[in-house]
Structure 1
Amino acid sequence: MDSCMMKIVEDLTLTNRVFCSKGYDEVIEYLRKLLPFEVNGYEGCSCNGWVIPPSWDLKEAKIFHDGRLVWDGMSHPLAVIALSSPFRGKVSKAELLEHLYFDARYDHVIPYHFRQLYRPWKRSWGFCLPRKLYDSLPEGDYDVVIETIESSGCLKVPEFTIQGRSDLCFAFVAHLDHPGMANDDLCGCAVGVELFRRLSRMKTNYSYKLLLVQEMTGSEFYWNFSNPKNKNKIFEGLFIEMLGSKTGLVYQQSQLGASNIEWALTKALEDLKLPFRKEPFRGAVCNDENIWEAYGVPMASISRFPYPEYHCDLDNPSIISQEMMGEALDTLLRTVTLLDSSAMVSKRFKGTICLSNPDYNLYMDPGQPAYGEEGDENATRWNKLMEAIPLLSAPVCGKRLASEFGLPEKSVMDYLARWKEKGLLDISFMDDSLSNSCVDHPSETHKCKCSH
């Protein structure tokens, strides 16, 4: 199994990946050595109420009681609440407790406090620590110091695009923030980087894009301020998240559950004989899918959520499995294989066509039982395919049509070609649809060499 994904996780988990920070910038530069991302930068702007937080790094963070160090906020990236205000002073135990946060699920873990990243106009100071320490704090006054390094924030979103023969683009999205955690979603980023390292060695029919965003905020700014030529060709998307834990794969549908990329994803999972759970839109995870759908891009997701170490320091490399990341990588490679080897069918007419008219001669007769014409199951399938074509609202994979109606792909493509001859359909890469894909998928075929 390729080792680069695991090395990314091991090297970058304990970094300060808050939205805007020196640590975040360093992580981007690390990943650019593996994949030549372009970096979108947004600063001095807001959109729809979303605000870019300041650049924020910790210089010092400690709690003392009677001169004894009680808690070192520099001990872990989660030990101070994200975007904590600076503070220095003596406080009572009661006041200190108002600024301390613990994970109610466990006694010995550090939780993730992220709210202020989304509400930079409402900041306070604070620490995250284990519940057992919280409960054992002695009475008396405490000396607290939180010293931060802050400046105007620049929200950075790495973007890598593989230009295919067609501009029609499928986007894969993961979030790079969440300091100090491995599975959420550094593993999604690691799988995405390795996926695109492999795809970049190949010539593809369609275009593919990898975006590493700050959860929700990064997607919103990308759609509002990025170069239109980069985003306007995006057709469908897939969010890739939390793919390294030893928990089952979860396919979450797009809002309508009808995109080509999720058809290819489920077919890939079935082809690879991998068990998975299917959930409705936002039924398993609630991340950037809603934002992308709001901008008209169907977005399904693949994850391994839930897992017990979620949003705390137990989410570290010790719970990450190379095998699980490898399964996800193989699934995504197979997904791209299915998409890229399929012709894309688009409708060129409105309304319905009298297909029995000799000018068209495209009618597929299911038979009329009242006249003793007993149509068989195959005739019914052809008739249903015929009736579905006028209802197409977006381009659809020819392979998908054949699969969904249970008909031979070559026969379906021959039938669709007759529609094309009548000027009713556009079909891209029809000559390639029955040939082997340019994308090979087994993860063992390419070994990654990391210099980090």
Structure 2
Amino acid sequence: MQKEGELMHQLMTELYPICRSITGDGVRETLKIIQEIVPLTIHEVPTGTKVFDWEIPKEWNIKDAYILDEEGNKVVDFKKNNLHVVSYSIPVDKVISLKELQDHLYSLEEQPDAIPYITSYYKERWGFCIAHNERKQLKEGKYRVFIDSELKEGSLTYGELIIRGESEEEIFLSTYICHPSMANNELSGPVLTTYLAKWILSSPRKYTYRIIFIPETIGSITYLSRNLDKMKANIIAGYNISCVGDEREYSFLSSRKGKTLADKVALNILTFNKIDYKSYSFLKRGSDERQYCSPGIDLPVASIMRSKFGRYPEYHTSLDNLDLVTADGLQGSFNIYIECIELIEKNEIYKVNCFGEPQLGRRGLYPTLSTKETGRMVRDMMNFIAYADGETDLVEISNLINVPVKTLYPIIDKLYNAELISKVNKNEKKLI
């Protein structure tokens, strides 16, 4: 049986050639492929719709683009790499001089073999992106520039999956689908979220899951404008999933205040897995956490990544390709997110049901043979009981007694089955 990492990388390979932007057929094609794996509902929001302080832009689609030299050679070809065209470029078909062409070219001197990723969503222009070494080889003369694109009254498209649980309280997962052929910055988030959704669907859950695939920024603003009241009422923790596919150091980006359940769970799981990670404050934000954590919205959303957006050399270039992202890198991120979700699902406030130290022996909870291992198990159990005070939740207890939650899960089951502890309602602090 294939591991999730291999399946995710296969899905990424299928999605990689598609030219996506914040609107258009590339987004629809991507969502329809994901829809074959998990049952997304696909929504269309018409051009011109007001969404908070923003407005849905015109829809953009592109069929072809190239630059021809005087000999008819394609010195730039959109069909070879869709990063070659500035996203949202207006159509153009004319012959211009090299001097005029240079005003519409974008390259990176510091990364001369990389094609940069450039966008112009909200100002009409046209342009091409090219490796700087290739740009330097352009000769004086005339060039035909051709972009077969369309800006029209259309819609913004996003995918949504609501997985009902026992509770109306929700765990929120968001990822974006608006970049063309880049692997870590774009497709690692959607493919990982797809397989997380598939895993969540595989068995009953306590919480309801709200999972969305949106274009970055305008998509999150649009979704919030349509769902904010319900989200604020129900979401207890959430993650913005992006840049999760390479094998480099993990990154953690906190929510605005850094004290939400999502923050605490992520830090607990990263720490007890003994994973090297770099922690970033909300001041280093850059993706849809900007919207989810903004004042007045204040959703409990954080991010766990591998190489953080903007912090790895291949970011927003053609070097962010299928060689950068690996099945092992995706699998590692997948496993971390599963552990976070499991902890949120199992996180409770517990209260011990007796005064003083409980008699474990008569309940079969005290080992009859003393070894180092049994001594550790008893110590962990007694330390858990010491903090099961009706006020402290599982994440905090794990941190206080320095024991991974995975070690505490079977201990809790034994104590609960022996009726030595009770779950306490987090809101009302009453026994349930």
TM-score when scaled to structure 2? 0.80
Matched, 1:36 2:39: yes
Whether contact under 8 Å (1:20, 1:56) holds in the other structure is: yes
Picking from 299, 302, 320, the partner of 1:315 is: 320
Per-residue CA deviation, residues 105-124 of structure 1 (Å, 9 max, x unaligned), is 3112211002x12x1xx211
> How far off its partner does 1:242 sit?
0.8
Whether contact under 8 Å (2:268, 2:399) holds in the other structure is: no
> How far off its partner does 1:265 sit?
1.9
Whether contact under 8 Å (1:40, 1:226) holds in the other structure is: no
Superposition pairs for residues 44-193 of structure 1, below 5 Å?
A: 44-69=48-73, 70-114=75-119, 116-117=120-121, 119=122, 122-193=123-194
Structure 2 gaps of 5+ residues are 356-383, 403-407
Partner of 2:30: 27
> How far off its partner does 1:229 sit?
4.8
The 3 A distance-change label for structure 1 pair 385 and 255 is farther
> How far off its partner does 1:207 sit?
1.6
AA aligned to 1:308 is P
Structure 1 gaps of 5+ residues are 346-361, 363-380, 390-396, 431-452
Picking from 294, 298, 301, the partner of 2:300 is: 298
Give the distance between the partners of 1:97 and 1:426, measured in 2 at CA: 70
Give the distance between the partners of 1:27 and 1:384, measured in 2 at CA: 48
Whether contact under 8 Å (1:185, 1:242) holds in the other structure is: yes
Picking from 394, 399, 403, the partner of 2:394 is: 399
The 3 A distance-change label for structure 1 pair 150 and 174 is same
Picking from 12, 15, 26, the partner of 2:15 is: 12
Picking from 309, 315, 337, the partner of 1:332 is: 337
SS at 1:204 equivalent: coil
Give the distance between the partners of 1:85 and 1:417, measured in 2 at CA: 63
The 3 A distance-change label for structure 1 pair 239 and 412 is farther
> How far off its partner does 1:230 sit?
6.6
Whether contact under 8 Å (1:252, 1:282) holds in the other structure is: no
Give the distance between the partners of 2:425 and 2:151, measured in 1 at CA: 60
State which drifts further: 54-63 or 411-420: 411-420
> How far off its partner does 1:35 sit?
0.5
Per-residue CA deviation, residues 427-448 of structure 1 (Å, 9 max, x unaligned), is 6xx6xxxxxxxxxxxxxxxxxx
> How far off its partner does 1:246 sit?
2.3
AA aligned to 1:145 is F
AA aligned to 1:16 is C
TM-score when scaled to structure 1? 0.77
> How far off its partner does 1:261 sit?
2.1
Provide the aligned C-alpha RMSD in A: 3.3
The 3 A distance-change label for structure 1 pair 385 and 314 is same
AA aligned to 2:38 is L
Superposition pairs for residues 268-283 of structure 1, below 5 Å?
A: 268-283=269-284
In the comparison of the two structures, how many residue pairs are matched? 384
> How far off its partner does 1:141 sit?
2.3
Query: Percent same amino acid among aligned pairs?
Result: 23
State which drifts further: 47-56 or 27-36: 47-56
Per-residue CA deviation, residues 118-157 of structure 1 (Å, 9 max, x unaligned), is x1xx211110111012122111222222121343231112
> How far off its partner does 1:46 sit?
2.5
AA aligned to 1:402 is I
AA aligned to 1:303 is M
SS at 2:282 equivalent: coil
Give the distance between the partners of 2:214 and 2:184, measured in 1 at CA: 15
Give the distance between the partners of 1:321 and 1:426, measured in 2 at CA: 47
> How far off its partner does 1:26 sit?
0.7
Whether contact under 8 Å (2:167, 2:208) holds in the other structure is: yes
> How far off its partner does 1:415 sit?
11
> How far off its partner does 1:324 sit?
1.0
> How far off its partner does 1:214 sit?
0.9
Give the distance between the partners of 2:258 and 2:227, measured in 1 at CA: 27
> How far off its partner does 1:308 sit?
2.0
Give the distance between the partners of 1:103 and 1:150, measured in 2 at CA: 28
Give the distance between the partners of 2:278 and 2:423, measured in 1 at CA: 39
